[in-house]
């Protein structure tokens, strides 16, 4: 999404966006993932604000509306994006879902290894994000 936003700024100007996310009931705020993806859509020309995200936190709705498996109600991250052209004849849907704690835990380990290598090499840069870890193929 980030590369697309850089290469095609404004390409979705006039399109409407709907964003729905589902996380465990205790998570009150909009996820950082959704905020990042929304920022890319904004660069692509879509008018949408983070406060427009539909946050699903009710377990019954998570199962029925979103399709979260019951055993993962306490730990999941489902994100759905629906983009529609002004004339409503073109639409795109993007979705990414994670169930359980293993993926975030593995990502944390990958990031720690990445940072340890940066410290060891005395890198000039001091602030990194998950994209840096991916770009350097530091994942196990």
Q: Which entry of 23, 43, 76, 79 is annotated as an active-site residue?
A: 23
The tokens describing 95, both together, are 């979705």
The tokens describing 73, both together, are 């109600």
Residue position matching structure tokens 């006039």: 14
Name the nearest CA neighbour of 108 among 87, 133, 75, 91: 133
- The number of angstroms, rounded, from the C-alpha of 120 to the middle of its chain's C-alpha atoms is 30
Residue 117 annotated in active site: no
The tokens describing 71, both together, are 């055993």
Q: Which entry of 27, 55, 82, 118 is annotated as an active-site residue?
A: 27
Residue 82 annotated in active site: no
The tokens describing 58, both together, are 């009710």
For residues 12 and 83, the answer to whether their CB atoms sit within 8 Å is yes
For residues 42 and 99, the answer to whether their CB atoms sit within 8 Å is no
* Residue positions annotated with a catalytic role: 23, 27
């Amino acid at each position: 999404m980030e590369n697309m936003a850089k290469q095609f700024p404004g390409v979705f100007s006039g399109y409407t966006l709907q964003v729905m996310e589902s996380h465990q009931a205790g998570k009150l705020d909009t996820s950082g993932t959704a905020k990042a993806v929304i920022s890319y859509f904004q660069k692509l020309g879509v008018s949408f604000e983070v406060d427009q995200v539909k946050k699903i936190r009710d377990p019954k709705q998570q199962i029925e509306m979103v399709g979260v498996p019951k055993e993962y109600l306490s730990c999941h991250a489902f994100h759905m994006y629906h983009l529609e052209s002004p004339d409503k004849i073109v639409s795109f849907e993007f979705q990414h879902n994670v169930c359980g704690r293993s993926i975030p835990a593995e990502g944390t380990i990958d990031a720690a290894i990445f940072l340890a290598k940066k410290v060891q090499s005395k890198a000039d840069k001091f602030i990194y994000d998950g994209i840096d870890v991916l770009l350097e193929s530091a994942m196990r």
